[in-house]
Structure 1
Amino acid sequence: MTTETGQRRWIPGHKRLFTPLGEVRGKQPVPGGWSVSCKCGWSASSPSPTTAEAERVYRQHFDEVANELERLHIPHQRRSITKISGHKREVSPRGPSTRGKPVSEGWVSACACGWTHELPLRTFRAAENAYADHVDTLAEENWPVCKRCTQRKRPSQMSTSSPRMCKPCRTAATRAWAAANPSEWERHRRRSYLKRRYGITLEEADALLADQNGKCAICGAAEGDSRGFRMHIDHDHSTGAVRGVLCNLCNAGLGNFRDKPELLLKAITYLELHTRGEDRHAGTDDQAAFC
């Protein structure tokens, strides 16, 4: 399923996990196929022969979860709506709500103040956004007051994480706190990035590095280098599974070789061939100098 803009939806707690059940050799089929699972604990009953089929199987699971959330009227992406006295969202279906199917006659968007949208909306999210538009058109005396700048702001201009502050003030407060607490801010940013990008916690990343004795899994370099680079989480780009922790150079090296073992083996052969040639030439030059 997709959003109103046609983009994929993200559901918290769900992330695809594809694991090869055999050796991966370029574009050749994996002998045992691919194991398909989700971060939520779900797993497919049988392996998929290709990554495209694995993606299709996972999308079926994802859509079932999305449909269930739609049935329970739980939106995935909602606009920020600040509570205002005398106003409350009242969204209801005009027909029977069946799992996985749109409501036949659409949704009614209304407010406790007596306002009702003139036409039924096709989806629950559209009805919710219509209510948000209604709240934004209220008279200025009904707008919430930001506790930091003490100015009245439209409901859509209020922060989601701090409902009593407007978005610019919330941003300014965050930047001020980050400047006063740089180490805590960096830790917070890293925690958020690891969870968003790799689906792991900061503690899990630290444990992974500790299992490698605090060194790169390939070259054995200690964390960080002269340019200030920290260790990087290495993951399989086809499955999303985390593989280990690498230094910046090794991580970039694998990426430059497109994670293909056959290219790395060719590079090793190339280096060994030319290294032997250089040693041979060096020996000839030494003998000539000696004579």
Structure 2
Amino acid sequence: MPLTGNLKEFDLVSLIQILSGKFSSGKLIVNKPFKKGILYFKDGRVINGEVGKLKGMPAFLELFTWDDGNFEFVDETNVDVSVAISMSPEALVLEAARIMDEWHEKTKKLGSLTVVPFFPNPSLAIPSNVQVLLLRKDPENMTPEEKERFILSNIDGRRDFATIARISGLGTLLAIDVVLNNLESGRLALRDLVNLLYVVPEKVGNVSSNDPAVQKMLKIMDGKINMEKILLEIEEERGKIIPELVKLVKGGRVRLKEGLEYLPRLSQENLYPV
């Protein structure tokens, strides 16, 4: 019987335990509407991972920030990928369980993955020339200090956390550590914006758009998913999508099943002033 399902019902830790116990070889593929992740197994051991541009252990860690996604295990006798993860299945399962616990605690501290951090004191921001220099380096060859500076260099007071983590290309778990540490030290603060977890949109009839980003939003908008989840799925910036959502709501093409009381504040978000 093929191993398929959704991460909502069956988490990655359990899947790794099953595949390790069967000494399986092949790839575990996790699909979301606009994203895909893969874990490669050889004789029951996870040997590599792939999520977007992330490879190896960073990709493995990134998958544990996903709380849903359809998965399928594909048996393959000869797994043609290099070994980038060498931990034993037992150690990896313990590490995975720890990661999941820490991830939930960290997201609670941040409050929302679509918050917008900024430097209250602009003199503490990372200069653009530093970012240019770091862009020339392979992330694998960056020191921990350089990785932190690169993540911080992508904070411009307009981008939401999820976007910062994505374009930094160093993984969501590292990005959340950097942001939380700098929030605690006072170097960063958060914009006073609506928590998009409380905003649930629904299409009114057939709605279309010529904007590719809005098309993606409308594709998965079903009246059940909140706006934070939608932004994370379509991987678009808050500052570019929320004004489009407001236009659709005011035009009667989308209604807010939850969070209608936040519409005046959403209308005032001006992260990309003209």
TM-score by length of 1: 0.23
Q: Higher helix fraction: Structure 1 or Structure 2?
A: 2
Q: Greater relative contact order (Cα 8 A, min sep 6): structure 1 or 2?
A: 2
TM-score by length of 2: 0.24
Q: Higher strand fraction: Structure 1 or Structure 2?
A: 2
Structure number with greater Rg is: 1
